[in-house]
Structure 1
Amino acid sequence: MKLLIGTQQSPVASEVLARMAIVRPILMGLLTGIKQDVLDELGGMGNMKLFMLPRAYRQGCGDVGFCFEWAIHDAIRRQDPMVMERLTDASKRCNLNGSSFQSILFGVEKSGKTRIIDTANELLTDDSRILTGAQAQPPKLKTYMNMLASSFHRPETRASLPSSINGLWKADLFFGATDTDRWLGTTLKINAKQLEGAKGLRIGIVPATQGASDKIHKDDSKNLIICPIPYDGSFMELFYTGWRIVQQFISADAKLPAAVELPAPADRQVAKELEMRRDFPIFDVVKALEAQSQTDLLTETQREVDVFRLREGDNVLNDLLISPVASHTGDLKI
């Protein structure tokens, strides 16, 4: 499986150019999320035209949250200090010792069609253990990975899990220290109100709420160490702006939305650029917009990650995921 990562490299120099830079990976993310049989009917992924996106795309309530999970996962792997400082402090409260921290993605496509596990074979060993907080020998994580994956869609499998981790299948990623070979079940929610605890989960990651304290704290009702990721009006705001432009463009049948739907001049300019190219394949549109977007805002890298694939009917996870990731240098001004 290939992961395409857009990483913020520079401060925003232009509202329009910055929006174009972030809209490109959003369009690609939506395209790759369309069912394969639908793409086949439309001539394949490389030939699907932009005006067909409103007809083929079916919005899912977890689309934004899924990108949030991948962004946090990649920030840990890149050792982004904005995320790592928060998570290392949270992990200390879970008695995770070590100094070389990493992430193993254990994600669910929110439509429920497929499940993926970034196995990170180079990270897990036969003695990798998951810290549960229970007064007992921590279970070996690698032993239960396949069973945890099956438990999401097969409730009968959950009965076979040790009682200390019988809710660990709800994890979105495992945060751990490779030098001590110990890991923590971690759940992420872009909406903090949807955060749920379960046996085996130790950390809950959410965006910081404006006006509320962003201190790391324990939620006794969920038995989770809550780790808010600061929201500073920078990258996340830009990401949501790009998301809004694309969603309104789709709602307007791939045409310029009404002024009340996109009142900001910069937003409307980006929508106009999309409308002018509605008769071209999405791949070509994304490529064309690259030349007139702020090309140094995002740098794209592509890397292979190991995954297990579990079929749900005939649906199989696409081979490409796109996730924009914020840089820790500079603020975005939008």
Structure 2
Amino acid sequence: MAEKTLDQAKLKAFENAAAGHDGVLSDESGEMIIKPCTDHEIAFYQESLHHHPKFYELMPLFMGTLQLGAPANVPDVTAPSEPADLTQDQKDKQLLHGQKIATETAIVLENLEHGFKKPNVLDLKLGALLYDPEQTKPEKAERLDKVAAETTSGSLNFRIAGMKVWNGKDYDVYDKFYGRKFNKDNIKDGFATFFSSLGAASRPDDARELLETILAEITKARHSLERSESRMYSASVLIVYEGDADALDTLMGNPPKTPRVDERAPTNFEIKKSQEEEDEDEEQPPVTHRVKMIDFAHAAWTPGKGRDENVIKGLKNVEDQMDVLIARFE
């Protein structure tokens, strides 16, 4: 695959995120996203790439960094200033994707939605503790504890942070407030909504196999973390699958083999090497789905501190919800 270059004059606001912060850009092709970030997050990507290759397989492909500066030709996607008399709830509703990070440094990553005709996207924020106790001011910690206590973050160690689902004509978009309304007993309804187009578009056997494949990749992420020592506050697992019924049906005509729980999926490097051997300029072939860990602004490898039970428990409970869905197709 030929090396890609970025022309800052052609960067545009990335408007397809299911959740996350404002200020994210994409390149003209849509293959890459440019996400404002801290030096800490860049360091985590670099350390994962060089020292934790098994986990790096579960992350978006890291393509380097970019200094955005403030050139006139880069889109201004900063949120408008807010009146001082708004309540916090009103501010939240005005800025559903969180405030833009105050930095001129951006990380360049593969766009996980690229290559799908109509990507359905689910962002699941992991953990009951959503902040680093050693780095967070008391007032912010109190606010995040309240969010966790009132949502499935507290009861299940994960919650729906946002999702979008293609309904055949346009997208149904579900913001972070949608995810906050669920409890541990009805969260299955959120998963059913996200995968509703799968049930409508696919034969039961195909739908079950795709769900089992997605489940296996979530389990792979959990197993990787169980073998590691880390802390990943407010990280997410992102699930993407093809929402276009015809495209999915075509892809499922030769469905991927469901891997065993411990079977290693090919790395990004292996996939790209295979593509290069076939055709240097050939684009990545379409896929039925992607499952990746994302959002590492508050993530670190922490030797000596043990595994991250906060996130591991969340992944286990996500697996349980996938099992509930799969049972519907048996």
TM-score class normalised by the smaller sequence: under 0.3
> Based on CA coordinates, which of the two structures has the bigger radius of gyration?
1
Q: TM-score, normalised by structure 1?
A: 0.24
